[in-house]
Chain A
Amino acid sequence: KQEVTQIPAALSVPEGENLVLNCSFTDSAIYNLQWFRQDPGKGLTSLLLIQSSQREQTSGRLNASLDKSSGRSTLYIAASQPGDSATYLCAAHFGNEKLTFGTGTRLTIIP
């Protein structure tokens, strides 16, 4: 079964620190992987998309990496800010047309 896992479920970090969120997946035949942000009670905002042929993508303070051989992706957030507090979800396309989501990491940036 194709699964996506995110650990830890929750993370608290002081403002200004750099941090890494982890995502693992069970099938190396991944088509692409997408990171989302979700604020409480809201929809999902796409942050970064990494194709299977890519190793990383960057957008501002965010950098996402993809290692198919180890089944891992990371989302690096530099110089964290209180506005970064949200739930971060990773989701993978495993060659079919459906996204498989992880359960998310709830991030709290402490001012």
Chain B
Amino acid sequence: EADIYQTPRYLVIGTGKKITLECSQTMGHDKMYWYQQDPGMELHLIHYSYGVNSTEKGDLSSESTVSRIRTEHFPLTLESARPSHTSQYLCAVRTSQGNTFGSGTRLTVV
């Protein structure tokens, strides 16, 4: 099993600001994922990583970027936030028990 942490839990930020959403895990799992979910809508994979220095774009095009410098951390960055980026962002790790998700970050860009 994995403990996975996302911060912040909620974020309200102005248009044009740079933001980084944090995702960290404690068990050293290689495979990590970022999903985007609009209210009442399905989840869409936007980024994934198979390990350190590995990052790939997911099925849904996103203006965000990710990095994986350390196994434990998989941060997501938006260089210039826009209202269209308002959504919930969910991070997950792949374990032997399937995928485990963090609590998510609800981002609002005003």
The B18-50 residues at the A interface (CB cut-off 8 A) are 31, 33, 41-43, 45, 48, 50
CB distance from B53 to the nearest CB of A (A): 16
Report yes or no: B88 in contact with A34, Cβ–Cβ below 8 A. Answer: no
Which chain B residue lies CB-closest to A49?
Answer: B98
User: Does B101 sit at the interface, judged by CB under 8 A?
Assistant: yes
Q: Mark A74-107, 1 if CB is under 8 A from B, else 0.
A: 0000000000000001010000011101111000
Contact residues in B for A42 (Cβ distance below 8 Å): 103-104
Contact residues in A for B104 (Cβ distance below 8 Å): 42-43
User: Does A26 sit at the interface, judged by CB under 8 A?
Assistant: no
Report yes or no: A43 in contact with B90, Cβ–Cβ below 8 A. Answer: yes
Report yes or no: B97 in contact with A41, Cβ–Cβ below 8 A. Answer: no
User: Does A44 sit at the interface, judged by CB under 8 A?
Assistant: yes
CB distance from A9 to the nearest CB of B (A): 10
User: Does A28 sit at the interface, judged by CB under 8 A?
Assistant: no
Most A CB contacts (10 A, CB to CB) among B41, B58, B99 go to B99
Tell me the interface secondary structure of chain A in the complex: strand
Q: Please, how many angstroms separate the alpha-carbon atoms of A108 and B74 in the complex? A: 35
Partner of B99, one of A46, A102, A104: A46
User: Does A63 sit at the interface, judged by CB under 8 A?
Assistant: no
Known interface pairs A43-B102, A46-B100. Does A99 touch B45 (Cβ–Cβ under 8 Å)?
A: yes
Q: Which residues of A contact B (CB under 8 A)?
A: 32, 34, 36, 41-46, 49, 89, 91, 97-99, 101-104
Q: Which residues of B contact A (CB under 8 A)?
A: 6, 31, 33, 41-43, 45, 48, 50, 58-59, 88, 90, 92, 94, 97-104, 106
